[in-house]
Structure 1
């Protein structure tokens, strides 16, 4: 009887053993892609992080982030692979920003890969009045791939490139010199503190996230099974739009909600592409590409936006305040070389031509100029910084030229 019972259980034991073996092999391969020894599988701190992520009742952030990013995850993997960076570095972006192109740190790092302005510009990302390409999910990933390639060439191992991405190449070089070794187990020594505590946890977090992300058995037995196929079924396409084209117009032409289009194009600071380029890259879901090619045709910008006829007493600042647009933007759209205006001159104002303008009391609004900070505005108008943030729904103290702020007390 016992023998018969054991024969019934044998397939279950074999299946469990096979599943364990497959998962173990995948985990070893994952570590190898980072040049990490297989024994790191048993690192207690990394496993604690991993178990937290796989506990649905404790933490759903991982799965929500994966779900929100399903559209562009394939594009990130493709770009990394094209630059010979392991695709698993996808999870470095997750560790940095939780896959949010809007992520912004107190140190002024921004975007999926949390580039500082100086580093972003060094790797070809444009940051100006109209765009912040650190938030461009394609261009920032290309820049990150180049940066990681540089770090790998400098340090020779991918886990060192990841650590250097976090704490800086100079600091890691000093740590390796102090430790007289670049072995991960030595650099992670909590007593010696060769690298900062944040960096010791950072590399573990990336590995833990990657292990959860590739755990097919767990995903198949959870409410997140759709993530296995979704990330492969969806992707984005790059389209080139002419100078000043409106995102709102594109969203209507191809039937994409404006909010979805903006989500894919967080690098645009306004709802239009920069007026200074003949064409500029914008992203749409791949499934909409055919429809875009069939239906889209360029339209002169004066047919898209409002036209303002200059009257007596007008100047660029008052016109800008009236429409809620920076005077600099008005100058660029109209290719003005100076701020002097003439009566009955027609100016293109980049707001929806069909939008009715709400008249506001401009005494209670302030247009942000170059050099302004929330502190300087609060002092000038005798309004607390907390009040300014509350009135204007600001989550941080970040403001930009052309922003229109309520300044009521």
Structure 2
């Protein structure tokens, strides 16, 4: 009896084990195959350095915001140093602190009522701005101090960049002064800063700081007074010389201040007020808002071929805004290649490690991407349908390519631009914004790709005509699907396939921009797909999401009606198909069709 029970237990155990194995096998079989794009297949071969420190994305979002520059510049230009400001700071205590600063500085830091008013004004109205500026300074100040130490320039002049540009390397004044140190075009050229269509070294923190250091040294040799050096930096040495003459030959800033241009009269006090707030920020409850990444946690790598920030961002899994922040001198989001010159890209150290370890694959992808776009453009031009010239009409302000974002508390243009992977200047242009300030509750128009790449295939291309391509590339008419992978969003997918967010949402009946990982999206109908080049080792191992499918003559196909379609134009897309066929297959009595309507096409 015991043996019989034991047999039953053993038998039941083995049955459960077999059942579990079959269930596991079924689960494995039911898992959908995830298609990899060419880009993802290359990235899967990358060697990665997981021990390297990561950059805090919240801090990066803070860095790409430009709104402090507008606010601080307006304050410095309009602040009235003669109006008393009601803010808790005893005058005697301020005098003591200024005297302590004066002892360890080559600047003559003396108390006066105008300086007290500016300090109190900053404390009352700009505490949050200075908190953010201190986070920025953790990155930029080491660069400034290194350059100034080489030229024996007072390190305190680093605070001048706060007054000049609010530590924004892309800042541009109304007069065209550019960069952290606000060089005009002529001055930039005078100090050997390269300025062309691709590069503006006035925005390069290292080179622009070296130029500013050289300027300061020359001006000190002329005036022998650092306050007058600052005044000449703001208004030019000519205005300082005139002020000296008008004052009767006096050579101290505070003695000639009233003879200087109005803006320069508040310029040096604003510099000293900034120095005070940085020195005594803890006493006033001002601390950096974000975790910071210091300069030594980034490094540069030489780039051997032209590549775009978009390509780098895709390959290295980092936002374009972060690359723009670290490389502000590249004007068009492209690292150019000039024969006989070297260009460098600055990246977080973990990304530098990834780049250097995988250079061959990276340059292979860049070449592939360039060739693919060139071929797509040629085919689009060659097979574009001929149409009668139409009268040029102004583009509508709002169309299907735009979506709307409602500004919430804590938002700024930098964070919103990073969210949609677009530039701040684009958001300002789409919404006619003059400044970087945005009101809470305002709806902003966002366009994920302002100028979408030319589609590989126009929707109206005839199948037989496409097969006769002069490029001898193999093409096939297919329904194009794409499986969503990690890091995707509708904007990046639309850009990858040369379509728009609106078209993707229409084709897939999406009511929002949220897409789940692993979801299969319809990209287009009856599109032409170009076979990938296999000249590189990586290409042969890739499984592209838009791999060709063999055509079948006796299989029904769905077609989604687009704006401007008619039954006649649709029938022309399918050889041998007539209007009456489409009406019969879809039970249509008249020729009234609407965009988004699904039509069945047989044969």
Assess if the C-alpha contact under 8 Å between 2:235 and 2:264 holds in 1: yes
Assess if the C-alpha contact under 8 Å between 1:130 and 1:269 holds in 2: yes
5 Å-filtered alignment, 1:241-260, equals: 241-260=303-322
Assess if the C-alpha contact under 8 Å between 2:200 and 2:331 holds in 1: yes
Assess if the C-alpha contact under 8 Å between 2:337 and 2:343 holds in 1: no
For residue 256 of structure 1, report the CA deviation from its aligned partner: 3.2
For residue 226 of structure 1, report the CA deviation from its aligned partner: 6.8
The residue aligned with 1:357 is: 498
Rounded to whole Å, the distance in 2 between the matches of 1:256 and 1:213 is: 32
The SS at the match of 2:168 is: coil
RCO higher in 1 or 2 (8 Å CA, sep ≥ 6)? 2
Assess if the C-alpha contact under 8 Å between 1:76 and 1:90 holds in 2: yes
Report whether the alignment pairs 1:184 with 2:253: yes
The residue aligned with 1:208 is: 273
What is the aligned length?
301
Distance 1:29 1:249, change over 3 A: farther
TM-score of the superposed pair, with normalisation by structure 2: 0.44
**CA deviations over 1:226-276 (Å, ceiling 9, x no partner):** 78x957686542332223123233334544322111122222122221132
Report whether the alignment pairs 1:263 with 2:316: no
The SS at the match of 1:125 is: coil
The residue aligned with 2:117 is: 48
Assess if the C-alpha contact under 8 Å between 2:127 and 2:286 holds in 1: no
The residue aligned with 1:163 is: 231
**CA deviations over 1:279-316 (Å, ceiling 9, x no partner):** 312222356544444344451542242223646977xx
The SS at the match of 1:282 is: strand
Rounded to whole Å, the distance in 1 between the matches of 2:298 and 2:227 is: 29
Rounded to whole Å, the distance in 1 between the matches of 2:250 and 2:122 is: 32
Considering only CA atoms, is the larger Rg found in Structure 1 or Structure 2? Answer: 2
5 Å-filtered alignment, 1:1-400, equals: 23=97, 26-29=100-103, 32-34=105-107, 36=108, 38=109, 40=110, 42-55=111-124, 59-179=127-247, 180-188=249-257, 193-215=258-280, 217-218=282-283, 222=285, 224=287, 230=292, 235-277=297-339, 278-286=341-349, 288-297=351-360, 299-300=363-364, 301-305=366-370, 306-308=373-375, 310=378, 324=451, 355-358=496-499
Unaligned runs of 5+ in 2: 1-92, 383-449, 454-469, 474-491, 502-603
Rounded to whole Å, the distance in 2 between the matches of 1:208 and 1:22 is: 15
Distance 1:69 1:245, change over 3 A: farther
For residue 137 of structure 1, report the CA deviation from its aligned partner: 1.7
**CA deviations over 1:157-215 (Å, ceiling 9, x no partner):** 21111110000011111221222011122112xxxx32112111101111110111121
The SS at the match of 2:344 is: strand
Higher relative helix content: 1
The residue aligned with 2:22 is: none
Assess if the C-alpha contact under 8 Å between 1:238 and 1:282 holds in 2: yes
Assess if the C-alpha contact under 8 Å between 2:199 and 2:331 holds in 1: yes
TM-score of the superposed pair, with normalisation by structure 1: 0.64
